[in-house]
Amino acid sequence: MNKISNQFSSIEQITDQYLKKGVPELAQAAPEVSFEDILKRRQSVNDTSALKFSKHASMRLQSRNIELSSEQQERLETGAEKAEAKGMRESLVIVDSYSFIVNVPNKTVVTAMDQAESAENVYTNIDGAVII
């Protein structure tokens, strides 16, 4: 039985040989980063509050000659943030005389209208409205 036990390495020997061998080099190469730091970086990348405009919405803006000022753009984003805070998914956001349907989870403006196009004042497939 001694012959067999001498032929095999112990778990401790294997651990020493394979697991501990390169650890100091890795520890020196990569600075210590906490989970919190990684989470913050991840959130800052994903936390782009700027709204996107769908192709359809961009075409509507162009065809209806709607040009938003930076202040109106900020108010539109604020409206989308308020809709998100209330748990809305498809929201009507009204900024001055412009109406926007916003897909809140995707932070995407789906369509845009000015007061002339929204004369009927009927909006469908929304679950809330924000007037800014």
Of 49, 72, 62, nearest in space to 111 by CA: 62
What percentage of the chain reaches a pLDDT higher than 70?
67
Is 123 a residue whose pLDDT tops 60?
Answer: yes
Burial class (CB in 10 A: 0-12, 13-18, 19+), 53: middle
Summarised one tens digit per residue, pLDDT across range 40-94 is 676 555 555 589 999 999 999 999 888 899 999 999 999 999 999 999 999 999 9
Least confident of 4-13, 18-27, 65-74, 119-128: 18-27
3-state secondary structure of 60: helix
Name the pTM for this structure: 0.62
